[in-house]
């Protein structure tokens, strides 16, 4: 007989980042969730680096709890019911981020009841997955950026990603040239403009930056500007990646159908959890579009091990839950020589602390 949900709790943890992501994102917010059933307890989380942690917590404690309590604890069935009821408040964004808090907890519960990890429940297809070095580093000096790249190379990373979008394109050129020199010709280099450009600016930038043999250009234009991405895709040979700010399978479908994207980057929490993430991955696979999960390597790495096609997992330097001191015990994954594997902890494997620790932040030379 399926377990019945008897309660849903949510609590907010806010922790400063060890390496500043700049003045816009000095900290991360994790909304830890616990779902109680008549046959056990599951633990999950929602996450946002900047906007709306209190709103997400309120959605979980009120609207989502009201719908979930009394329902069977089956994540795929409950997700569709929740989205149908909640999407009038927004089809994505805060709505789906909050939904992830419940969805992850239900998958954790399901795996724990089976006595395995979530990756074990879904089925391992491989033992390790490649990690690429990433950084929120546009505010770094050139010297700091080069030093970060050297750390990635020393750690064994075969691919790295840096931010672009300086007011003067010549500065982006200088920074990319320095990074490419450290990487050499054989390592892959990705760049992320974080929606800083419009279409003409992107085309001008690519005319200069494509000389650095780019693996992809990520989110140069506003993430919801499908028309502009379609025009861009027609006019460049550099692969285009986006998806961290795309929140539903319908919008991913639109970008894929419009032939506007080469690599999609769904964030497991922002799309609403494991349930919709798996559907989006299957959509991409049936259209031969690459997937590169966005952030949260301790979660996305576990799912990557279960995917039909190999992917790279993003690891932003010194930003994992383990490194920020948010976990009370060992984490669910380990990374060695740029390869991620699971530790075999049951469920999702997260045991969050009761209170966030004080985290000493690495200050850059410009004070950020």
16-63 pLDDT, tens per residue?
Answer: 999 989 888 889 999 999 999 999 999 999 999 989 999 999 999 999
pLDDT of residue 368: 42
Are residues 196 and 169 in contact, defined by beta-carbon separation less than 8 angstroms? no
Closest Cα to residue 269, out of 242, 308, 243? 243
Residue 362 has pLDDT above 80, yes or no: no
pLDDT band, very low/low/confident/very high, at 2 (cuts 50, 70, 90): confident
Distance between CA 74 and CA 4 in Å, rounded? 9
pLDDT of residue 24: 81
Helix (H, G, I), strand (E, B) or coil at 41: strand
Write down the mean pLDDT value for the chain.
95
Distance between CA 152 and CA 159 in Å, rounded? 9
How many other C-beta atoms are found inside a 10 Å radius of the C-beta of residue 130?
16
Q: DSSP label at 15? A: E
Tokens of 232: 């861009």
pLDDT of residue 367: 40
| Structural domains of the chain, with CATH | 5-115 (3.30.390.10), 120-342 (3.20.20.120)
Write out the DSSP string of 55-116.
HHHHHIIIIIHHHHTTSB--HHHHHHHHHHHHGGG-SSTHHHHHHHHHHHHHHHHHHHHHTS
Closest Cα to residue 50, out of 86, 21, 11? 21
Distance between CA 13 and CA 15 in Å, rounded? 7
Q: Which residues contact 259 (CB under 8 A, 6 or more apart)?
A: 230, 233
pLDDT of residue 287: 97
Mean pLDDT of 94-111: 98
Least confident among 16-20, 274-278, 330-334, 356-360: 356-360
For helices 75-86 and 274-286, what crossing angle results, to 10°? 90
Active site residues: 163, 294
Are residues 341 and 120 in contact, defined by beta-carbon separation less than 8 angstroms? no
Closest Cα to residue 350, out of 341, 342, 339, 359? 342
pLDDT of residue 358: 60
């Amino acid at each position: 007989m399926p377990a019945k949900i008897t309660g849903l709790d949510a609590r907010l943890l806010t922790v400063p980042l060890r390496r500043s992501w700049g003045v816009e994102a000095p900290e991360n917010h994790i909304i830890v969730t616990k779902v109680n059933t008549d046959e056990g307890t599951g633990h999950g989380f929602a996450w946002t680096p900047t906007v709306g942690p209190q709103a997400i917590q309120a959605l979980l404690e009120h609207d989502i709890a009201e719908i979930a309590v009394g329902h069977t604890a089956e994540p795929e069935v409950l997700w569709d019911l929740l989205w149908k009821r909640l999407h009038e408040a927004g089809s994505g964004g805060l709505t789906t981020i909050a939904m992830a808090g419940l969805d992850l907890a239900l998958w954790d519960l399901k795996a724990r009841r089976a006595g395995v990890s979530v990756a074990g429940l879904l089925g391992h297809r491989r033992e390790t997955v490649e990690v690429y070095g990433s950084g929120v580093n546009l505010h770094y000096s050139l010297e700091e950026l080069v030093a970060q790249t050297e750390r990635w190379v020393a750690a064994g990373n075969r691919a790295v990603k840096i931010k672009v979008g300086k007011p003067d394109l010549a500065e982006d050129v200088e920074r990319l040239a320095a990074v490419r020199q450290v990487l050499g010709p054989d390592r892959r280099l990705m760049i992320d403009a974080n929606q800083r450009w419009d279409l003409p600016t992107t085309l001008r930038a690519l005319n200069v930056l494509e000389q650095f043999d780019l693996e992809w250009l990520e989110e140069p234009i506003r993430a919801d500007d499908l028309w502009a991405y379609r025009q861009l895709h027609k006019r460049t040979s550099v692969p285009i990646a986006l998806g961290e700010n795309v929140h539903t399978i319908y919008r991913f479908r639109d970008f894929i159908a419009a032939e506007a994207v080469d690599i999609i980057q769904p964030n497991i929490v922002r799309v609403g959890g494991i349930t919709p993430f798996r559907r989006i991955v299957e959509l991409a696979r049936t259209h031969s579009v690459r997937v590169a999960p966005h952030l949260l390597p301790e979660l996305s790495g576990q799912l990557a091990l279960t995917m039909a096609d190999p992917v790279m997992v993003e690891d932003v330097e010194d930003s994992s839950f383990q490194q920020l001191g948010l976990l009370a015990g060992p984490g669910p994954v380990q990374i060695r020589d740029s390869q991620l594997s699971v530790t075999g902890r049951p469920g999702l494997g997260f045991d969050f602390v009761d209170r966030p620790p004080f985290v000493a932040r690495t200050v850059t030379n410009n004070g950020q």
